[in-house]
Amino acid sequence: MLHQVNNPTSNTPTSNAPTTWIKNPLAIYSGSEKDARGGLVVQGNLIIELVALNAEPIHRIDNVVEAKNHVVTPGLINAHHHFYQTLTRAYPEALDKELFHWLTTLYPVWAGLDEEMHALSTEVALVEMMMSGCTTASDHHYLIPVGLEHAIDIQVEVAKNLGVRAILTRGSMSLGEDDGGLPPRHTIQSEQTILDDSLRLIHQYHQREAGAMTQIALAPCSPFSVTSDLMKETSRIAHQENVMMHTHLCETMDEEAFCLKRFGLRPVDYLENVGWLNDKTWLAHGIHFNDEEIKRLGQAGVGISHCPTSNMMLASGICRNNELEAAGVKVGLGVDGSASNDGSNMIAEVRMAMYLQRLRYGSANVSHLDALRWATQGSAAAMGRHDIGSLAVGQQADIAMFSLDEIRFSGSHDPLAALIMCGAQQADRVMINGEWRVHDGYVIGLDLEALLIQHRQAAKRLANKALKLR
């Protein structure tokens, strides 16, 4: 099921580890104001030096990677995704629907997930993201039917095998359609089961040190699929265990109407009522806030994952990124589900974010640098990480390198702008935790063809299971 690659190294660098100079890039986005036009030096899993233009490193150099034909960025960070949805891309019955109808069409299909399908869908999502320059991926897995109780354990294993940094959220649904929620009864779990498993996963997998490769967050799905009691108890556990919390909020006006009808509260008021309006929370989508709510979110230190392609596909609306950032909200970027995108490509999502936000604010008020910031420092901050997201001394060595040798870039003049505006789709090289994981556009040591054959077969099996249940 798993397709073996090199195992990741330790998170602890040593002073005698070899150094690598990524030398003289064509262009570099570091996320800091320090001159790094001469490149950067990596030792172990850390960046130890930024090199100014026309300068030489002050450290001894063991290896040189010539980057004169590459645009270099921090590894991109995906703040919201649903890996399992790679199995239901362009699913016929779910086309041309908005969120609630799209969900109710797909819930019965997704209920047929088994462990092999889940492992393959996770692996494909992570590989696709790695190949697009992503080094840290978060997943919101909330659908755990009978037989898939170890869904997050499976994801931990797949991410570790690939050597990718992962923030995996223990999602949940406890409010079935017979109790006024949206999901069907056979896709939900009891609250005690959810809470017990949340604690198990935190204690078993959550790494707290700088450079953590695997972290666990708690993620009840949405106001229309969990109870208020579960939200409150999740907040208590998250604060007790010092882990982050994640949920969907303010994605559509239907959700707002649901909250007003069921709770007598707007979604942000509901969030505060259940103990979630604080800096341990990052939210997916965050579209339909009023000005006063944006101010409160900023004061509370909440994060938002902007999901532009999904928001366009489902016609949900446009996130108010500029006002949110101005208020102090930590704005990141997520590809969202591969059935509402329908891809897992982070560098493509950066371009979508820039253009969708320009549609709201105008071309002069959103640049390619804004979009890159959302996909790096923004996502890191939203998810409570301070050791990734920029190319700076002491940061983790998570680095993406893009070549501009495709026809789409021919005639371009500003390489960093061209990376986004001309529509880059794939990274040439990717380093994660100081180890090269992608080279010449492919994940090192991975049999991609074999993976895709198995994944396509799993997608057909899932669809056939759904047909038999109709």
pLDDT in tens, 83-118: 999 999 999 999 999 999 999 999 999 999 999 999
Q: Is the pLDDT confidence value at 1 over 70?
A: no
Q: Which residues pair with 218 in a beta bridge?
A: 170, 245
Residue 430 is which amino acid?
V
> What pLDDT does residue 350 have?
98
- DSSP run (H or E) holding 449: helix 448-469
Q: Is the pLDDT confidence value at 3 over 50?
A: no
> What pLDDT does residue 267 have?
96
- For the chain, the average pLDDT equals 95
**pLDDT tens digits for range 4-63:** 444 444 444 456 899 999 999 999 999 988 999 999 999 999 999 999 999 999 999 999
Look at residue 264 and give its three-state secondary structure.
Answer: coil
- DSSP run (H or E) holding 161: helix 151-162
Q: Are 136 and 167 in contact (CB under 8 A)?
A: yes
CATH of 76-382, one of 2.60.120.260, 3.20.20.140, 3.40.50.20, 3.30.450.40: 3.20.20.140
Domain ranges of the chain: 76-382
pTM, full prediction: 0.95
Cα(223)–Cα(209) distance, integer angstroms: 32
Question: What average pLDDT does this structure show over 421-432?
Answer: 98
Whole-number Cα distances in Å, 40 to 20, 51, 216, 310, 337: 8, 5, 31, 35, 34
Q: Which two tokens stand for residue 381?
A: 């901050």
Cα(245)–Cα(256) distance, integer angstroms: 20
Look at residue 427 and give its three-state secondary structure.
Answer: coil
> What pLDDT does residue 14 have?
55
Q: Are 126 and 164 in contact (CB under 8 A)?
A: yes
**pLDDT tens digits for range 174-228:** 988 877 888 887 788 999 999 999 999 999 999 999 999 999 999 999 998 999 9
